C-alpha cells in the first residue's frame, strides 16, 4: 500500500497541470497584493501593512477557498487517475481494494499539507517583499496566525468530508467528469437545499433532517469563520481589517457537535466506499 502511496504522490506532484495551477494562483495573489498596496503609505503606522496583508489573504480564502482549492484537491487525488484510463491496472498489480481507500486518504492529506505549505511560503514571501519596500514592518500576531491555521484546517476538513461523500459515486461510475460536477453541487449545499425543500412536504414535515446533513454542519463552521472574519469586532467599520482575536472567539463558540457529525460522515462514507469498490467490476476506461 505504501508503495502505491509513493507512486500516487509522484503522479500528483509531477502532473504539470497541478504545478501550473498552484503557481498561477500564488502568482495572481502576490501580484494583486503587491501592486494593490503600491500607492499606500505605511510610514506612520507600519502595523497597518500587516493588517492589510492579513485581511487580503484571509477574506478570499474564507469566501473562495471551497471553490478554487478544495475541488482541485479532489480532482488531483481521486479523479485524475480514473481519467488517465489506467484504473484497472492498480488492482491487477496486487493492490487490495481496502488498501486503495486508505491510500487515497493518505495521499490526499499529504498533498494538502504540501500545497498549503507552498501557499504559506508564497504568502510569507509576498509579505517579506512588502516589508522591504516599507523599511520593515511588524510581523503577524499569534491570533492572526491561529485564524489562518483555522481556515486551512477548515478547508482540509471540507475537502476530506465532501471528497469521501462524492467518492461513493466516483467508485460506482468510475468516471471523472460527472463526480467533479457533483462535488461542486454537493459541497455548495444544493443537495441539502433540495432535502430541505422535500422536508416541507406534509408527509416528511415531522422529520427534521437538516441538523444531520453534512452541508449543514460544514456550513456552521463556515458561518462561524466568516462571521468572525467579517464581523468579529463589534462596531468595527466595514473598511477596517478583521480582528483576528475577536474572530477566534466566535470560532471557539462552534462547539463539538458539527465536528462529531462530520467525523461520522467521513467514517461511514469511507466504509461504504470499501463495500462499493469491493462489489464493483473495475472498468478499463
What is the per-residue pLDDT across 191-233, written as a single tens digit (0 to 9) for each?
A: 777 777 666 666 666 666 677 888 888 888 888 888 777 765 4
Alpha helices in 37-188 (DSSP H): 47-68, 70-74, 80-83, 87-92, 97-133, 142-173, 177-187
Which pLDDT belongs to residue 67?
A: 87
pLDDT band at 264 (very low <50, low <70, confident <90, very high): very high
CB 40 within 8 A of CB 52: yes
Residue 234, pLDDT score: 47
The proportion of the chain whose per-residue pLDDT surpasses 90, expressed as a percent, equals 15
Q: What is the pLDDT of residues 159-183, one digit of tens each?
A: 999 988 888 888 777 666 677 888 8
Is the Cα torsion angle 117, 123, 129, 133 positive or negative in sign?
A: negative
Distance between CA atoms of residues 77 and 236, nearest Å:
41
> What pLDDT is stored for residue 130 in this prediction?
73
pLDDT exceeds 70 at position 105: yes
Overall average pLDDT of the 130-153 stretch: 78
Average model confidence (pLDDT) across the chain = 79
Task: Tell me the DSSP string of 198-227.
Answer: HTTSTTTTT---GGG-HHHHHHHHHHHHHH
234: DSSP letter? T
Rounded distance between C-alpha atoms, residue 14 and residue 150, angstroms: 29
3 vs 5: CA distance, rounded Å: 5
Cβ 285 vs Cβ 170: under 8 Å = no
Residue 277, C-alpha cell as written in the block: 469498490
Half-sphere CA count of 280, side-chain side, radius 13 A: 21
Amino acid at each position: 500500500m505504501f508503495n502505491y502511496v509513493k507512486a500516487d504522490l509522484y503522479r500528483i506532484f509531477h502532473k504539470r497541470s497541478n504545478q501550473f495551477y498552484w503557481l498561477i494562483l500564488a502568482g495572481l495573489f502576490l501580484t494583486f497584493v503587491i501592486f494593490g498596496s503600491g500607492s499606500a503609505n505605511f510610514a506612520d503606522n507600519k502595523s497597518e501593512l500587516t493588517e492589510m496583508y492579513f485581511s487580503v489573504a484571509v477574506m478570499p480564502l474564507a469566501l473562495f477557498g471551497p471553490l478554487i482549492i478544495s475541488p482541485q484537491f479532489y480532482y488531483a487525488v481521486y479523479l485524475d487517475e480514473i481519467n488517465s484510463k489506467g484504473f484497472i491496472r492498480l488492482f491487477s498489480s496486487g493492490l487490495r481494494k481496502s488498501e486503495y481507500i486508505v491510500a487515497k486518504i493518505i495521499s490526499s492529506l499529504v498533498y494538502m499539507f504540501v500545497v498549503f505549505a507552498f501557499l504559506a511560503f508564497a504568502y510569507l514571501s509576498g509579505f517579506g517583499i512588502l516589508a522591504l519596500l516599507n523599511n520593515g514592518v511588524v510581523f503577524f500576531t499569534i491570533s492572526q496566525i491561529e485564524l489562518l491555521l483555522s481556515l486551512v484546517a477548515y478547508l482540509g476538513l471540507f475537502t476530506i468530508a465532501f471528497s469521501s461523500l462524492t467518492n461513493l459515486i466516483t467508485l460506482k461510475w468510475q468516471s471523472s467528469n460527472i463526480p467533479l460536477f457533483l462535488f461542486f453541487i454537493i459541497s455548495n449545499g444544493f443537495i441539502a437545499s433540495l432535502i430541505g425543500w422535500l422536508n416541507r412536504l406534509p408527509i416528511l414535515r415531522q422529520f427534521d433532517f437538516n441538523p444531520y446533513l453534512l452541508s449543514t454542519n460544514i456550513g456552521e463552521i463556515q458561518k462561524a469563520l466568516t462571521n468572525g472574519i467579517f464581523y468579529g469586532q463589534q462596531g468595527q467599520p466595514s473598511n477596517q481589517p478583521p480582528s483576528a482575536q475577536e474572530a477566534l472567539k466566535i470560532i471557539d463558540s462552534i462547539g463539538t457537535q458539527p465536528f462529531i457529525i462530520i467525523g461520522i460522515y467521513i467514517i461511514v462514507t469511507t466504509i461504504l466506499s470499501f463495500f462499493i469498490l469491493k462489489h464493483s467490476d473495475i472498468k478499463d476506461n
